[in-house]
Amino acid sequence: MQLDDERLMAAVAEGDERAFAILVQRHLPRAYAIARRVLPEQADAEDAAQEAFTRIWTHAADWQPGRALFTTWLQRILVNQCLDQLRRRKRRPEQDIDALLEELLDPDADTAAQVQRAREAAEVQRVVQRLPDKQRMAVVLCYFEEHSNPQAAALMGLHLKALEGLLGRARAQLRRWLPASPANRPTEEHDDER
C-alpha cells in the first residue's frame, strides 16, 4: 500500500526520515524539472530543488493538511528558491559577462561602448568584493545604494568622519586594484583631493 503525501508529511513532521526519503524520491524529479525551466544553469536548478526539500524537512511541522496540497506547498517553496537563485545571479554579473558580451556584440559603436561599460562594471563588482567588510559596506551604501554619507554613517552606526575614512581607504585600494581606464585616471580636480 502506497502512502499518500499527506500521511508522509505527518510522519516527516515527527522526524521520520524514511517518509521524507519517499517524498524526495517521489517529487524531486519534477521539482528539478521545474527549476531547470526557470534557471539557466543546471547547478542552480539542482541547488534550488535540494534547498526546497531541505526546507520541507526543517519546516514539516508548519505544513497544514487540507489547507493546500503537499505538491502546491512544495512548488511554492521551490518558486521562492528559484527566485532567490535568480537574485543571486543578478548580484554576480561577472560570471555571465562572456555570454552577455557574445549576445551584445555587433559592429555598432554604441553597443561596443555598452559592452565596455558592462565589463568595467563587472570588474568593479569583483574588486569591491575583495575590500574589508566595513569598507565594502560603506562603498555599497554610498555608491551602489546611493545613500548620502550621513545616511550611510547612521546605517552603519558610525560617526560621519569614520565613514569618510572608510570610503577614502576603499577608494585608494580600488585605485590600486582596478586597471587604469579613462574613468579611473585622475583629473586635475581629483589630484587636489589627495
Give the residue with greater pLDDT, 155 vs 148.
148
- Mean pLDDT, residues 100-124: 57
Any idea what the CATH number is for the domain that residue 34 is in?
A: 1.10.1740.10
Q: Under DSSP, is residue 158 helix (H, G, I), strand (E, B) or coil?
A: coil
pLDDT at 72: 77
pLDDT at 85: 81
26, 84: one domain: yes
- Mean pLDDT, residues 8-19: 94
142, 75: one domain: no
Q: Is the full-model pTM beyond 0.75?
A: no
pLDDT digits (tens, 9 = 90+) for 115-139: 566 677 777 777 877 888 778 778 8
Is residue 161 in a domain? yes
Which cell is 188 given? 586635475
CA–CA distances in Å: residue 112 to residues 71, 85, 147, 160, 178: 47, 29, 31, 40, 20
Structurally, how many domains does the chain consist of?
Answer: 2
Phi-psi region of 16 (alpha: psi -120 to 50; beta: other; left: phi over 0): beta
Given a cut of 60, whether residue 185 has pLDDT beyond it is no
Domain extent at residue 136: 131-180
Any idea what the CATH number is for the domain that residue 174 is in?
A: 1.10.10.10
pLDDT at 145: 65
Report d(CA 69, CA 17) in Å as an integer: 20
pLDDT digits (tens, 9 = 90+) for 79-94: 788 878 877 766 544 4
- Mean pLDDT, residues 37-56: 87
Is residue 46 in a domain? yes
Given a cut of 60, whether residue 153 has pLDDT beyond it is yes
Is residue 85 in a domain? yes
CB-based burial, 155-164: b 16+ in 10 Å, e otherwise: ebebeeeebb
Element (H, E) at 25: helix 17-38
Report d(CA 44, CA 170) in Å as an integer: 32
Is residue 112 in a domain? no
pLDDT at 166: 93
Which cell is 178 given? 582596478
Q: What percent of the chain has pLDDT over 90?
A: 27
Given a cut of 50, whether residue 57 has pLDDT beyond it is yes
Given a cut of 80, whether residue 177 has pLDDT beyond it is yes
Is residue 100 in a domain? no
